Amino acid sequence: MAVTHNGVTYRVADAHAHIYPGKIAEKATANVGRFYNIEMDEIGLPHILSEEGKVAGIDRFLVCSVATKIEQVESINTFIAQKCAKYPAFIGLGAWHQDITDVGGELDRIQALGLRGIKLHPDFQRFNIDAPNMLEVYAECARRGMVVLFHTGDDRMDFSSPRRLANVLEKIPEFLCIAAHLGGYREWEDARAVLHGTNVYIDTSSSLFAVKAEDARRSIAHFGVEKTLFGTDFPMWTPKEELERFFALGYGEAENRKMLYDNFAKLFSL
Ligand SMILES: [Zn+2]
């Protein structure tokens, strides 16, 4: 599977995709759309992601789901692991909740399920990225080589601000994380001003529809082409249209290869 652009063929990984169990997929997708006041292109069902991705030529998907209640964590993680077993193109992240007290035990379970890290959405989950009790979680993830994918940035609230992630990195410089949405949705400038770190990745999801190409390139230059991952934020956008937006940034072949697949393959040791 591959994507061809300007006569060049690329492997592509999608570093940001949401999937939900069939029973709640429609409602969950609609809720996200309402929260961001953005019309959702798709419904977040695993088979739709797999099929749409195949049509678009995408090879790998980093899939996740967010737990807004602590009692959802276990079942979401079982669901993600089952879908990763069913769809070999999926790489899974576990859900987490800020009230979990047995940090080591829960991370053990996530790793035993074959999941590679955790996904956090501080605005939906309503906790500050730099909340003192989360530092233990980040330090433990860093120790285990697990990736933490953050929804970052929202100019309407402060839970997920790039500044708060920067506070964490001051304390845990080796922390391996992905600051989604070019480092901070609607706080792109702030992200460039305050956030940096050796193990900080960004993804391109849910930003390219809103920023000028030159601003996206500015963010990518700040964090580094080597630290940038292509992502769709499915089901918000279809893989095909996010790919078109990505190619419109106008990078050359070598840079495209890194951002579309090679950085992802290195991060997850594929
Ligand atoms: Zn997300």
Whole-angstrom Cα distance, residue 50 to residue 270?
A: 19
Whole-angstrom Cα distance, residue 26 to residue 270?
A: 32
Q: Are 113 and 78 in contact (CB under 8 A)?
A: yes
Measured in Å, residue 121 CA sits from the centre of ligand 1 at 7
Measured in Å, residue 150 CA sits from the centre of ligand 1 at 7
Measured in Å, residue 236 CA sits from the centre of ligand 1 at 9
Model confidence over 150-170: pLDDT tens digits?
Answer: 999 998 999 999 999 999 999
Whole-angstrom Cα distance, residue 177 to residue 168?
A: 11
Measured in Å, residue 253 CA sits from the centre of ligand 1 at 27
Q: Is residue 110 within a helix (H) or strand (E), and if so which, with residue range?
A: helix 103-112
The CATH number of the domain covering residues in 12-267: 3.20.20.140
* DSSP 8-class letter at 202: E
Residue 43: pLDDT over 90: no
Tell me the pLDDT of the chain averaged across its residues. Answer: 95
Model confidence over 234-265: pLDDT tens digits?
Answer: 998 888 899 999 999 999 999 999 999 999 99
Measured in Å, residue 38 CA sits from the centre of ligand 1 at 14
Whole-angstrom Cα distance, residue 7 to residue 184?
A: 33
Paired residues of 17 in beta bridges:
63, 234
From 20, 28, 92, 89, select the one nearest 56 (Cα to Cα): 89
Specify the amino acid at residue 60.
R
* DSSP 8-class letter at 265: H
Residue 37: pLDDT over 90: no
* 171: confidence class by pLDDT, cuts 50, 70, 90: very high
What residues does each domain of the chain span?
12-267
Measured in Å, residue 201 CA sits from the centre of ligand 1 at 14
Model confidence over 101-148: pLDDT tens digits?
Answer: 999 999 999 999 999 999 999 999 999 999 999 999 999 999 999 999
Q: Are 124 and 151 in contact (CB under 8 A)?
A: yes
Model confidence over 45-60: pLDDT tens digits?
Answer: 999 999 999 999 999 9
Measured in Å, residue 181 CA sits from the centre of ligand 1 at 9
Measured in Å, residue 151 CA sits from the centre of ligand 1 at 6
